[in-house]
Amino acid sequence: MRNNCVYWADIVNDTISRQCLSDGSQGAEILVKTNLDSIEGMALDWVSNTLYFVDGMRTKIEVVRTDIHYEGRMRRTILDSRNLKKPRGIAVHPMEGFIFWTDWAPGDPSLSRANLDGSDVKRLFVKPRVEWPNGITIDHIAERIYWVDAKLDYIASAALDGSKFKEIIANDVRVKHPFAVAVFKDNLYWDDWEQKAIFTADKDHGVEVHAILNQLAGLMDLKVFAHSIQEGNNSCGLTTNVCSHLCVGLPQRKSACLCPDTMVMKNNECMCPENKPAFANGTCPSCQYVLNTCTTEQFSCSNSVCIPRTWMCDGTNDCGDNSDEMNCSHPHCPAKLFSCGDGKCIEPYWRLKKRDLYISSPHVLIIVHNCEWFRGEFRCAKDSVCIPSTWRCDGEKDCADNSDETSCVAVKCESWQFKCKNNRCIFMSWRCDGDNDCGEDDSSDEENCTVTHEPTERPPDMPFLPTNSCNSWMFTCSNHKCVPYWWKCDGVDDCGDKSDEIGCGALVPTLTPSSSTHTPHSFTCKENEFRCYTGDCILESWVCDGTGDCPGEEDEENCKEVVRCGVNEFMCRKDGSCIHMSWVCDGKIDCPDNSDEVACVRNNTTSAPATPSCHSGFFPCDINLCLPMVKLCDGHQDCYDGFDEGRNCNNATTKVFQVQMSVGDHRTNSSSLLLVWWLPMSTNAPLEYLPSICELNSMGKWINSTWTSDFEHWFTGLKAYARYNMTVFVREKDNANKVFPPAQYIAATTAEGAKSKVNSCGTITTFPADESSLSLVTCVTGIPRYLRATLEMHYDCLVSTTVPSPPWNLTVVQLTSSQVQVSWMAPAQPNGIIQEYTVFLSPPIPPLSRKTTSDQQSVVIESTYKPGQIYSYWVRARNGAAESNDSRPQTLLFDESSVIGSIQGLVITSKNDYSVVLSWKPLNKVEGYRVYPRANPPLPRLDSFIVSENNVTVSNLSPGMTYVVEICGFRLPLPEISGLNGTVLKQHGTTVTLLWDAPKYSIKQHWEYGIYYALNIQELFDKPKLRTQNMNATVSGLEACESYVFAVGLVGPLGSGPLSSHPYSILTEFNPDAPPKNLHATTDPTNETRVLVTWQSSCPEMDTAVNYSVTIEELTHGQSSTVTLLPTTNTTLNYWFNTRHGGRYRLSVRTGRVHSNSSRVVEYTAPIILPPGQVQVLPEKNGSYFVYWKETKLPDALQGKK
């Protein structure tokens, strides 16, 4: 909402895009366009300016930054297949630092939560609570999550930690296959595939269900946008420059700095591959020596540039440092070429007829006088200037002496063309159109015209060209018609099939309304709505709710005496009135809008639980509540329907005993926990208690102690720094068969520092398997699962130690010829806080080691690896007391063929005391080789260098010392476009034609070129505005008398290359049809109904007087008028006109020519007449109604008028 941008995923093209709606001048922007397969959901972190998205096929949740435009946008994988199986919906909570997602994994569905950096993953709900969890959202007011299940057909909510689960709507025909869900204020919204509709209901109780849109096939995601939703902050938003690349919020107002996937964190700094620092903007160098290497068919220049070997010794400085022209011998030229005196080989048609002058240099070849010029060119008679042959006899004077237009053979024009007296051919539709199109000194196209044609909305249909191939300066329509290229994107359907107006973007001035005031809204609001001063309508229930919903926040005025509904009250949806909750669904309408009786399930009684889904130890209450059994028959009504204090409370047999607990923290150590409990009520009955414990996340059994009359128990023999779940059963001492299951569980963590200790195994005892016996059989997190069976009292042998278990799931991946990435999982039993890891590599012996911090579980090991050698890797973990054993080692056979630059057959061919000569097998598709000599201290570091052949001499070595030489191949980057030049089209001062040279590259390709242009260098690099496979382009629709910067670069098919190093600057010229600039409409400060319209001429200096036509459209009554001003050479102009209160006007200006282009459109709204506000209708006892309202002030000009 802050940037007014909407984000979407295109599942056909596999892209993620956004459209910012600030002023309408920006086009859609692609944020992610690579490595996407199936985007299931997206969520925006508006604080950190990041976008999270779910890729179901790739089983990933990733994040990108939205506030930068660098390639990749700092893309980072947050969660992968280790935590995801079939992810679907996603929601983020920037203030709390959480990310929530749903997963459809067959047999293992889940709704999970993690921190925004992907840490601390918790599965909040699993099967059978969820089956096909779909959309998920966050209610930032209540701090709850809402989700839908498409198989169980319900909508539910829970607290952010998964507690306080509540089904909102279930077993309802309007929730048959819900897909997405959203929450705003008191309302819940969802869409349903089977119903093909969008519904809304009360978010707390699921009442007042109704459809707001119907007959919508293929419904997918659903979002509610409001400024009140995207509020709040975290440590990333409170402090600037917290992180260099990615900043994400964490719980407890903390934050984390992350690196993109292509970088690694070292010493709190994001480093590029090969441990190279990033650029100032955070990106990595685009040319890495391992990845960007020259091929064997290329020559490696001394400046690291790669060129084809065929360009060596050709007399042209292709490298830029002339290294390709050094040490050259001149061989005999091929039979088809001519051999110059300096050894240069040229085409035979460059050969001179006579002994004339030629100049040859490494850069140019200039031939003058009496030459057979390049094929396809014509030489002017007087100054020997050469022009393209196509310019000969085209009716235009291109040679200074007009020799290109003399001795011309009669030109034959096509049937659909008109032949001018100067032999020029123009379109037949240009004849008698009021413009001189034949050229200077020839107006034959406007002679003998009986009628001067007025312009139509669309020029007459163009006849087809004789063939399907259009000239280079023409645009090919989808129907194979050819039209001038400058007609494309001119707002007129010249093709007849509108293909010349497709994909125009911002090539022509967009007629974007720009108004100085807002367009007024309708002032009629519906029943039970509140009208803002601006005319906006909001629900009355939004009035005095603590959030300003009107632009002036008048809905929160005079709210001191307003009392919101209480906990036991229901608020009617539209008027905000409060009724008691027991009145809801009682068969009687109590709310004016009937919202208390909507979506009610009839024929329910309070004699049975409403929902039999509560855990043992709890009983169902009302629609979706589960309360501890101790609240049954305790003399206090907790259920709205009175079920807990109903007719079953007439005897003492319904009495339930459950305890409350705490942990004695002052007596907790690394191997024991003290549990203390008490009864919340008084009783004279003798009771016994059974403490029970289970290690969390262990999937182990609950370990029961023995029955005791004490109110505390010491659990011993526990693991160090492990988390345990504890509870207490209660039974009557005189009735041992009746056991009361617990309703409270408490978790605690043992301390660090205890020495190794082994407990003896416990014994097994059982209780009768009657209806009251319960057994705790598994313990993962939260409340355990119960089964009716014998209660086993069994505990396994527990080992408590300070030594952490080894890291596990070790993986190794070869990255380059000198780098291997090692990753692992943290110890399953850390027995303390892990402080560091040590990674080992062997060979050599003793092994190499590298330490890393506890927050890193992946590291890149750089070494001098040998091809075909088997390497072993293992990791150890250390906590505050001890170091773990070695992890299970992983081996890697180093593969020299999997990485560009790996060398085979490296041998020493000769050596002496100061140098060594190496050779190796040549690599395919490399341009050269980089040589890295290395020596260990105290010897100094040696410089690397480049060779083009598969041998090298390494010199300046120290006698008797050991050196390591690393050799890698490299390839040639994409070439830069050269020879760019352009001219302004003669007939159109705002149309530019561009020409450039074909790129030099060793691989033959049908190149696609991107044309970039802008009014400044900063905007030049945004994106190409035109694409073409020709080596020329025509750019039209430019502004007059503006200095444009043009550049050309490769955009396909091998990727995007660099732009022209020397952008070409062109100043457009005056065009009498060009639109005026900077149109504005401002109100007279002394008279609010008088408006000043100002604009500027298309050029800063006007030599020709121009008259302007001002068009004013009054939109309310559909009236329009045009005023034509007298011709003038002024550059700043204005026009005054009067408005009426409440009127809406559309303004535009153009020159007086019939073909002129209009300026951008400006919409102006006159001062409005505010209607009375805050209308209230109150019923009287006699059946009449009392109406009152708040009067608004009339404008001064209307005072006293009726």
Tokens 């893309």 sit on residue: 75
Within 8 A by CB and 6+ apart from 483, the residues are 462, 474, 475, 477, 494, 495, 500
| pLDDT, averaged across the chain | 77
**Using CA atoms, how far apart are residues 627 and 613, in angstroms rounded to an integer?**
12
- Is 90 exceeded by the pLDDT of residue 1169? no
Give CA angle at 58 (72, 269), nearest 5°: 40
Give the residue-averaged pLDDT of 447-462: 48
Q: Which of 365-369, 522-526, 589-593 has the lowest mean pLDDT?
A: 365-369
Better pLDDT: 314 or 353: 314
Better pLDDT: 761 or 473: 473
Nearest to 1064 by CA among 979, 974, 976: 979
Contact between 501 and 491 (Cβ < 8 Å): yes
Tokens 């153009």 sit on residue: 1150
Q: Residue 1191: which H helix or E strand, with range?
A: none
Q: What is the pLDDT of residues 144-178, one digit of tens each?
A: 999 999 888 999 999 999 998 999 998 888 898 88
Sheet bearing 210-213, strands edge to edge: 178-184, 187-192, 197-202, 210-213
**Burial code of 279-310, b = ≥16 C-beta within 10 A, e = fewer?**
eeebbbeeeebbebbbbbbbbbbeebbbbbbe
Nearest to 42 by CA among 158, 115, 136: 136
Tell me what pLDDT residue 452 has: 43
Nearest to 881 by CA among 760, 800, 798, 797: 800
Tell me what pLDDT residue 1011 has: 93
- Is 70 exceeded by the pLDDT of residue 276? yes
**Using CA atoms, how far apart are residues 44 and 72, in angstroms rounded to an integer?**
17
Q: What is the dihedral of CA 575, 579, 581, 582, to 10 degrees?
A: -130
- Is 90 exceeded by the pLDDT of residue 137? yes
Q: What is the pLDDT of residues 786-824, one digit of tens each?
A: 332 333 333 333 333 578 889 998 888 876 667 788 999
- Is 80 exceeded by the pLDDT of residue 777? no
> Between the CA of residue 173 and those of 146, 337, 866, what are the distances in Å?
19, 85, 67
Nearest to 478 by CA among 448, 500, 511: 500
**Using CA atoms, how far apart are residues 894 and 814, in angstroms rounded to an integer?**
7
> Between the CA of residue 1081 and those of 281, 1123, 1134, 1164, what are the distances in Å?
41, 16, 10, 7
Give the residue-averaged pLDDT of 75-95: 92
Contact between 802 and 881 (Cβ < 8 Å): yes
Structure letter (DSSP) for residue 351: S
Q: What is the pLDDT of residues 109-132, one digit of tens each?
A: 999 999 999 999 999 999 889 998
Q: How many CB atoms lie within 10 A of CB 764?
A: 11
Give the residue-averaged pLDDT of 21-29: 72
Sheet bearing 110-115, strands edge to edge: 87-93, 98-103, 110-115, 122-126
Better pLDDT: 697 or 958: 958
Contact between 66 and 44 (Cβ < 8 Å): yes
Contact between 982 and 1066 (Cβ < 8 Å): yes
Q: Quick one: how far is CA 177 from the chain centroid?
A: 28
- Is 60 exceeded by the pLDDT of residue 234? yes
Residues 125, 131, 136, 141: is their CA dihedral positive or negative?
negative
Q: What is the pLDDT of residues 645-674, one digit of tens each?
A: 776 676 555 678 888 888 876 667 878 889
Tell me what pLDDT residue 138 has: 94
- Is 60 exceeded by the pLDDT of residue 629? yes
Better pLDDT: 1 or 287: 1
Tokens of 113: 């939560």
Query: Among residues of the chain, what percentage have pLDDT more than 70?
Result: 76
- Is 60 exceeded by the pLDDT of residue 562? no
574 pLDDT tier (thresholds 50, 70, 90): low
Q: Which of 307-311, 775-779, 967-971 has the lowest mean pLDDT?
A: 775-779
Reduced to 3 states (helix: H, G, I; strand: E, B; else coil), residue 811 is strand
Most confident range (mean pLDDT) of 51-60, 336-345, 625-634, 1052-1061 is: 51-60
Better pLDDT: 848 or 463: 848
**Using CA atoms, how far apart are residues 588 and 596, in angstroms rounded to an integer?**
8
**Using CA atoms, how far apart are residues 328 and 315, in angstroms rounded to an integer?**
9
1047 pLDDT tier (thresholds 50, 70, 90): very high
- pTM of structure: 0.35
Tell me what pLDDT residue 373 has: 38
Q: What is the pLDDT of residues 838-860, one digit of tens each?
A: 999 999 888 889 999 888 888 88
Contact between 300 and 928 (Cβ < 8 Å): yes
Nearest to 317 by CA among 275, 283, 361: 361
Tell me what pLDDT residue 889 has: 92
Q: What is the pLDDT of residues 474-508, one digit of tens each?
A: 667 877 777 765 566 666 677 777 777 775 543 33
**Using CA atoms, how far apart are residues 130 and 1059, in angstroms rounded to an integer?**
54
Tell me what pLDDT residue 772 has: 31
What helix, strand, coil percent values describe the chain, rounded to 5?
Answer: 5, 35, 60
Better pLDDT: 906 or 763: 906
Tokens 């057979």 sit on residue: 372
HSE toward the beta carbon, residue 1198, CA cutoff 13 A:
14
Q: Residue 35: which H helix or E strand, with range?
A: none
**Using CA atoms, how far apart are residues 428 and 433, in angstroms rounded to an integer?**
10
Burial status of residue 1034 (CB atoms within 10 A of its CB: 0-12, 13-18, 19 or more): buried
Nearest to 307 by CA among 835, 1025, 999: 999
Give the residue-averaged pLDDT of 957-966: 85
Residues 817, 818, 820, 821: is their CA dihedral positive or negative?
negative
Tell me what pLDDT residue 897 has: 47
In sequence order, the β-bridge partners of residue 76 are 63
Burial status of residue 1176 (CB atoms within 10 A of its CB: 0-12, 13-18, 19 or more): exposed
77 pLDDT tier (thresholds 50, 70, 90): very high
Give the residue-averaged pLDDT of 1174-1185: 78
- Is 70 exceeded by the pLDDT of residue 605? no
Contact between 538 and 532 (Cβ < 8 Å): yes
Q: Which of 346-360, 571-585, 609-623, 958-972 has the lowest mean pLDDT?
A: 346-360
- Is 70 exceeded by the pLDDT of residue 335? no
Q: Is the peptide bond before 133 cis (omega within 30 degrees of 0)?
A: no
- Is 90 exceeded by the pLDDT of residue 61? yes
Nearest to 1091 by CA among 1145, 1011, 1030, 1172: 1145
In sequence order, the β-bridge partners of residue 298 are 308
Tell me what pLDDT residue 758 has: 35
Tokens 């849109």 sit on residue: 213
Tell me what pLDDT residue 550 has: 83
Ordered structural domains, the chain, with CATH:
1-131+251-257 (2.120.10.30), 132-224 (2.120.10.30), 472-511 (4.10.400.10), 658-800 (2.60.40.10), 803-821+828-841+858-899 (2.60.40.10), 907-970 (2.60.40.10), 981-1067 (2.60.40.10)
Contact between 757 and 717 (Cβ < 8 Å): yes
**Burial code of 357-392, b = ≥16 C-beta within 10 A, e = fewer?**
ebeeeeeeeebeeebeeeeeebbbeeeeeebeeebb
**Using CA atoms, how far apart are residues 1059 and 980, in angstroms rounded to an integer?**
11
> Between the CA of residue 1171 and those of 163, 529, 550, what are the distances in Å?
49, 15, 16
Q: Which of 182-186, 214-218, 246-250 has the lowest mean pLDDT?
A: 214-218
**Burial code of 952-986, b = ≥16 C-beta within 10 A, e = fewer?**
bebeebeeeeeeebbbbbbbbbbbbbeebebebbe
Tell me what pLDDT residue 474 has: 63
Tell me what pLDDT residue 92 has: 95
Tell me what pLDDT residue 157 has: 94
**Using CA atoms, how far apart are residues 1143 and 1090, in angstroms rounded to an integer?**
12
